[in-house]
Structures are given as structure tokens and as C-alpha cells.
Chain A
Amino acid sequence: MTSLTLPGSIYTTANRCQTRLVPSPCFANDCLDALSHDFTKYVKSGDIWRRAYPKYAGSSAPPWVEMPYDAIRLNVNGNVIFSDLVANVLTPVLEYTVPVGYDGVINQNLQIFVPAAGAAFQDGSTALTWYIGVNQCFVSDYTGMNYHEGSLDSIGRVALGAGIRVFANQIYTYYVQWDGTTALDDVGQVIVGFSGWVYPKHA
């Protein structure tokens, strides 16, 4: 059996199972250095998103920032009556599944409590807390919201430049939680909504 040794190394057959002692860079370093160099060059050569979405490569901004011409408007809403809420349990109010073949962005959201005649919701109180979930977890910066966003006339927070980027098959769920102690109007409605757009994923 031929004994193979690393170029320039001090390996012998006898001590191969000992701790590695590689005295100088070898061809393996060259492989790693070259790959790192090439990948860095690739990353710096242009916007990655133009390669990911070649159909929109000529656009001035990514498709989740500027609505592309072939995008589809996303506008979904849901509601639940206050008396249906269970104390300290996240109640799903709206569920939205991103369609197959599409990515998109949610850049506006709506969350309000509309009382009929009874007690209204005070912003900043813990009476109602909203969460936006994605699949089994939550969207960053959209958890534990103790305030309303938007109104029925004007849908809420507008995230200019981007928003919540959504991807095909993801399930977005709007939850609300009642603290169980603050009495609000029993027939009041919790209303939530998403707005944005989805665009074809492939060219």
C-alpha cells in the first residue's frame, strides 16, 4: 500500500491518528481562497435580486419595493366578535396563504376594535394584543402590538420601501388576544387586514 502524504506535511504512517499539524498552506487553501474570492466577486458584481428575479432585472427597484406591472393586488380582511375571544388565548382572525408560484410583500396592515355602543379599546392598554404569525412562528416587529393600526377608511402602517416579504405557500395568520380582565363591548368587532401585492416568482 502506497503511503499518501500531504505535500509539505510531516505526516508519517505511524502518527496519522495524532493531532493535525499542517505546516504550510497547500492546494486545499488555494481551493478555499479561490472560491471565496470568486463568490465575493459575484456578490459585489450586482444586485442579487436581479438574478433571483430576472424578469424584473430591468426595474429600478426590487419587485417587493415597487409593484411590478404583472403583480396581483393583495387585500384580505377578517373580523371576529369580541364575545368569541377567550382570555389569554391567541385567536386567529385572518389566515392568508401566499399562492403557489408567487412571492410578494405585505406593506400595510390593519388592526382595530370597533365597538357598537359599549366600551371601546384604549390604545396602549393590554386589553387587546395583536400578533402576525407566519407558519409556526411570528413576524419580527409585528408581535405584542397593544395599539390599533389604520382605520376602515385608511388601512394601517405603510412600510415604505419594503414591508413583510412573503413567499409562496407561507401561511400568514393575524391573531388577537384578550387579557381577560378588561371589559370591552361584547358585540364589538375586532377587524384585521393585510394589503400589498404578490408577483410571479419565476420569469
Chain B
Amino acid sequence: MVAKNVLQMVPLGTISMDVMIVTAQQGNGRRQNMLDDYSIPDGWIYNATIRPELPYDYRGVALRRMRALRLSTYKPYTNNTRLFTMAPFTNVQTQIRMFPGTYLWGYWLSLTPTIVDDVVGTVSPHNIYVKVTDNATGIGPFADWVSDQDLGVFPALSDVTGASANTVNFPQLMIEPYVVTDPSLFTIEFSNNGRSTETTRVQLQFLGCVPCDRVIGGVDCNFS
């Protein structure tokens, strides 16, 4: 509580985020392990008002759980399904292969109306559902159907008036890194439930980190 009060009194912008983090850790005794000992100045947090060590919201909690990834030398990695065009009342299944040892930290669902000059509302929220199954376990990052709206595809639909503008989105953070194990296959299903009568293009992208020796064939990954 001491640390919380201190931080509230310090105007943001007059103190670096690193100092804030260290203050918080030392002040309230929450230092738990080595992961907490180092601040991480990377591209994950451009907003200095976000403090992962003070987990008051989902993003803070999720970023806190990503510390090992951010401290490591794992390399950025993305993998995605191909772009499917889905008529109403149809399902498609696909499978993507990843590197064993990959850690996923986020995903990104893209929905695109097939009509170029689309207007708001022709692709409705809760129109597309997604299920992702990790073949290694039979369950997955989200093993039952998840709505497109739950994946954040429609954060500002009512504000959008331009063509196909409701495809704008940002990656969704997982609550913690998801480890991909051999055979490193994900089965992905999309379902278009026909709430919108329009054919829709769908694509799911995963974002993660991979040990660089898996990518470049076991050679030394020391980039210094």
C-alpha cells in the first residue's frame, strides 16, 4: 500500500517507468524472483501510464506474465491461417504447424467484408466464431467456440463509417504465454453463423516468440 500511495503522488512524466517499477517492487516487498529484478525497456509498453507490476487490469496482468519472454532472447514469430472466404452458414477447418518450443503471446482475428464499399453493420458482431485446438493436448488456447466480438474485432463498430474499416484491430494478449509442444499443430475452425448474410473473409494470426536456434538451425544465436 505504501508503494501505491507513493506512485499516486508522483506525477507521471516526471519519473521514468523504470524507477516506478523498482520503487513499487522495493516498497511493497512484492519482489518474488529474478524476473522481477529487471526493468524491461522494450516495445511492449510505449505507454508509461501502464504499470504491469500494478495489475489493476487485464493488460497489466498479461504483461506481467510475459516478463520471461521479454527478458529472453527468443525471437518474434508469427503464424497465420490462410485467408478464407466464408459464405453464411458454413464452417471451414484448417491446420497450421509451428516450431516446437514456441511461446504464443497473442492472436489477431481479421474479418473483411467481401464488398469493397461496405458499410457499417453488414458484417455483424457474433457473426464469426473461432475454435482453436492444440493437437498435442486436444485442448487449446480457446478450445470452445469464441465469438469474433470476444476477440475484439468490433471495438468501435459504431464509430466507423468508411469502407471495410471494421477490420482495424490490434492483437489480443493472452493471459500468459502459451507453450507449443510437439507435434506443434493447431487445428483451427471458423464458423459463419449467418447472422450477417454477407460472405466474409476471415484469417487468424498468432503472435509469439521462438527460440532462435529452432529458426536458424541450431547455430549460435548470440547476436552481440
Interface residues of A (CB under 8 A from B): 1-2, 4-6, 10-11, 16-29, 31-33, 35-36, 39-40, 43-44, 48-49, 90, 131, 133-141, 143-144, 167
Contact = CB atoms under 8 A, between A and B. Distances in A.
Secondary structure at chain A's binding surface: helix, strand, loop or mixed?
A: loop
B72 A22 contact: yes
B136 interface: yes
30 contacts: A4-B22, A16-B41, A17-B41, A19-B43, A20-B42, A21-B224, A22-B73, A23-B222, A25-B72, A25-B73, A25-B221, A26-B71, A27-B34, A28-B67, A28-B69, A28-B71, A29-B72, A32-B69, A39-B181, A40-B100, A40-B182, A43-B136, A43-B137, A137-B91, A137-B192, A138-B91, A138-B191, A143-B90, A143-B91, A144-B89
Nearest to A2: B22
Contact of A138 (B193, B211, B221, B224): B193
A32 B208 CA distance: 13
B138 A4 contact: no
A5 B34 CA distance: 12
Interface residues of B, number: 51
Interface of B: 16, 18-19, 22, 34-35, 37-43, 67-74, 89-91, 93, 100-101, 103, 126, 129, 136-139, 144-145, 147, 177, 179, 181-182, 189, 191-194, 211, 221-224
In the A-B complex, the 4 residue pairs with the closest CB atoms: A23-B224, A137-B191, A28-B71, A137-B129
B68 A31 contact: yes
A16 B22 CA distance: 14
Nearest to A48: B137
Contacts of B138: 48-49
A32 B129 contact: no
Contacts of B192: 137
A142 to B, nearest CB: 8
Contact of B74 (A11, A18, A19, A32): A32
